[in-house]
Structure 1
Amino acid sequence: MYLIKKMIVCLDQSPLDKTLIEFAKFVSQVNHTKKIFFVNVIKNLSVPKEVLEEFPNLIENMVSERQNAMKKSVHEVFGNQKDISLNYVVKEGNLSKKILKLAEEKSVDMIIIGRKTNLPGTGVAALRLARRASCSLLIVPEDSVPKVKKILVPSDFSEYSRDAMEEAIMIADRHGKAEIVCQNVYNVPSGYHFTGKTYEEFTQIMQMHAEINYKKFIRKIDTKGIKITPIYTKDDDDDPVQEIISKAMEIEADGIIIGAKGRTAATALFIGSMAERLIQYNDSLPLLVTRPKGKNAGILDYILEI
């Protein structure tokens, strides 16, 4: 995996901004981040022509006011940072499109966006960014606290699960050997009775194969001495995402890391159903959707639409 040298932090002048800025500082400290773009996207800056003729500096002053507000909020958290370039960008238009275009132009390694629960907001932008971004995406719910002592990594032992595990190991290693819990959610196929086995017997068979696959999976990864605990969860109601969220809360995880499927133009929209549902339904813990930088070629087509 790679260091987070450049990142975008999406701000909107809501109380959530402070949390996002704190996470940006937390991430930057262990990654030796060089440049952060704090971005505020305004949906509509249109002003009647007659008003602009009377007040020609109106939009310029509005943008300046937004930038100054961001600078003030960032300074309260970062203080006088001399080793990081802090940039303040105000854009007009669609949030996800503007962020994606900026991310591509600046070749950023991570986008940080908030997840609102009590504050007004739809959460649609996070899903769009996860589908299209050519870098990792960190989704931070309201009132989250930046800390890393225990990380949950849901895994089906695929290549994109490996991306997530390697990212978790790198993060845990930089944060004082935090613990990683690797969760595999399995279910018993509906046709199990044709095998002549009981439900309980087939449950044992499914878990045994999950355990074997985990050993093969982890053998190919440099764990850097990090403690990784595998757990196996049987999904009884065809809702693996609920099992993941429940387990994360049970073990008091500080965050969840999952890999995105889409790596090419052909798969750009497919981050995986589990990742999509986690983005939609997880409103309790920070969620990092990992994608190796630059692997999503579909972004180029999307930018042409802007």
Structure 2
Amino acid sequence: MYQIKKMIVCLDLSEMDETLVKFASFVAKTNQTDKIYFTNVIRNLNIPKDVLKEFPNLIDSMIDERKGEMKKIIDNHFDKSLDTNCALVVKEGQLSKKILKLAHEKSADMIIVGRKVTMIGTGVVTQRLARRASCSLLIVPEKSVPKIDRILVPSDFSDYSKDAMEEAILIAEKNGRNVEIICQNVFTVPSGYHFTGKSYEEFTAIMKTHAEINYKKFIRKIDTKGFDIIPIYTKDDDEDPVEDIIQKAIEISADGIIIGAKGRTAATALFIGSMAERLIQLNDKFPLLVTRPKGKNAGLLDYILEI
């Protein structure tokens, strides 16, 4: 995976911003990030032309006010010892469109957004960014604490799971050799198992054995940098593997979850995968990093449609 040299951090001037700035500082410190674009998007103002004619400095004044509020938050919560260039960007329009366009223009490596639980807000924008962003997306629940002691990587042993595991190893390497990486595979016992003449317990053991074999094949393709990856196999009993993932994250007190976006080419980039979609929807407890190889966005046509 690539270095996080340029970041976009989406602020909305709520108490969520304190957490996001702290996470930006944490990521910047371990990645020697060069530039962070702290961004706020003002919704379409639809100010009548006559009003703008009468008050020509109105929008500029609003932008200056926003930047002033953003600067206070950054000054209070960003690590001043870091040699990172912080820029304040205020745009007018639809949030997701403006963020996607900015990420494209600045060739961003990561976008950081908040996940509100008790605060006012929805996850619609986050879903849209996850589908269309040309880089990785870090979704941070409110009041999360930036630390990396234990990372959970759900895996189906696919290529995009490989991306997520490699990112987890890179993060662990940057944050100290004591970081634990847990690779979780959620497997299902097929409903027709009884046609094989095996009992449910026997077929469960067969499915787990196959998962163990596939994990060994999977991990052999990855440079683990000397980290002892811990494999965990979870039987899905309710046809919802995402619930099993969140429950495992709770059990192990994970500091974050890393999952790969399914779209690895321009043709498939809109499909981040059903598991990633569900994790974005349901997870409100753990920072979630959705990894995507840089530049693998939805293609030129989708980009044009977003602008």
TM-score, normalised by the number of residues in structure 2 = 0.97
Aligned-CA RMSD value:
1.1
What amino acid is aligned across from residue 135 of structure 2 in structure 1?
C
Once residues 80 and 154 of structure 2 are traced to their aligned partners in structure 1, the CA distance between those partners, rounded to angstroms, is 38
- Equivalent in the alignment of 2:22: 22
Once residues 276 and 78 of structure 2 are traced to their aligned partners in structure 1, the CA distance between those partners, rounded to angstroms, is 31
Residue 37 (1) aligns with residue 43 (2): no
Query: Measured at CA, do residues 82 and 176 of structure 1 come closer, stay the same or move farther in structure 2, by a change above 3 Å?
Result: closer
Asked whether the 8 Å contact 1:151–1:253 carries over to 2, the reply is yes
Asked whether the 8 Å contact 2:112–2:140 carries over to 1, the reply is yes
The alignment of Structure 1 onto Structure 2 pairs a total of residues equal to: 305
What amino acid is aligned across from residue 183 of structure 1 in structure 2?
Q
Asked whether the 8 Å contact 1:263–1:295 carries over to 2, the reply is yes
For residues 67-98 of structure 1, give each alpha carbon's deviation from its aligned partner in whole angstroms, at most 9, with x where no partner exists. 11111111112254562111111111111111
State the SS of the aligned residue for 2:222.
Answer: coil
**Per-residue deviation at 1:59?**
0.6
- Equivalent in the alignment of 1:57: 57
- Equivalent in the alignment of 2:117: 117
State the SS of the aligned residue for 1:180.
Answer: strand
- Equivalent in the alignment of 1:271: 272
State the SS of the aligned residue for 1:267.
Answer: coil
- Equivalent in the alignment of 2:166: 166
Asked whether the 8 Å contact 2:114–2:142 carries over to 1, the reply is yes
TM-score, normalised by the number of residues in structure 1 = 0.97
Asked whether the 8 Å contact 1:97–1:303 carries over to 2, the reply is no
**Per-residue deviation at 1:301?**
1.7
What amino acid is aligned across from residue 77 of structure 2 in structure 1?
V
What amino acid is aligned across from residue 205 of structure 2 in structure 1?
Q
What amino acid is aligned across from residue 210 of structure 1 in structure 2?
A
- Equivalent in the alignment of 1:256: 257
**Per-residue deviation at 1:167?**
0.2
Q: Which runs of 4+ in 1 moved over 3 A?
A: 79-82
What amino acid is aligned across from residue 129 of structure 1 in structure 2?
L
Once residues 17 and 275 of structure 2 are traced to their aligned partners in structure 1, the CA distance between those partners, rounded to angstroms, is 27
Once residues 207 and 138 of structure 1 are traced to their aligned partners in structure 2, the CA distance between those partners, rounded to angstroms, is 31
State the SS of the aligned residue for 1:265.
Answer: coil
**Per-residue deviation at 1:238?**
0.1
- Equivalent in the alignment of 1:102: 102
Q: Unpaired segments of 5 or more residues in structure 2? A: none
What amino acid is aligned across from residue 248 of structure 1 in structure 2?
A
**Per-residue deviation at 1:265?**
2.3
**Per-residue deviation at 1:54?**
2.3
Identity of aligned residues (%): 70
Asked whether the 8 Å contact 2:160–2:264 carries over to 1, the reply is no
Once residues 245 and 277 of structure 1 are traced to their aligned partners in structure 2, the CA distance between those partners, rounded to angstroms, is 11
**Per-residue deviation at 1:48?**
2.3
Asked whether the 8 Å contact 1:10–1:112 carries over to 2, the reply is yes
Larger CA deviation: 77-86 vs 206-215:
77-86
State the SS of the aligned residue for 2:198.
Answer: coil
Equivalent residues in 2 for 1:142-161 (5 A)?
142-161=142-161
Q: Unpaired segments of 5 or more residues in structure 1? A: none
Residue 304 (1) aligns with residue 307 (2): no
- Equivalent in the alignment of 1:226: 227
Query: Measured at CA, do residues 17 and 210 of structure 1 come closer, stay the same or move farther in structure 2, by a change above 3 Å?
Result: same
What amino acid is aligned across from residue 276 of structure 1 in structure 2?
E
State the SS of the aligned residue for 2:64.
Answer: helix
Asked whether the 8 Å contact 1:254–1:286 carries over to 2, the reply is yes
- Equivalent in the alignment of 2:6: 6
Once residues 223 and 118 of structure 2 are traced to their aligned partners in structure 1, the CA distance between those partners, rounded to angstroms, is 40
Query: Measured at CA, do residues 202 and 278 of structure 1 come closer, stay the same or move farther in structure 2, by a change above 3 Å?
Result: same
Asked whether the 8 Å contact 1:96–1:125 carries over to 2, the reply is yes
Once residues 254 and 168 of structure 1 are traced to their aligned partners in structure 2, the CA distance between those partners, rounded to angstroms, is 12
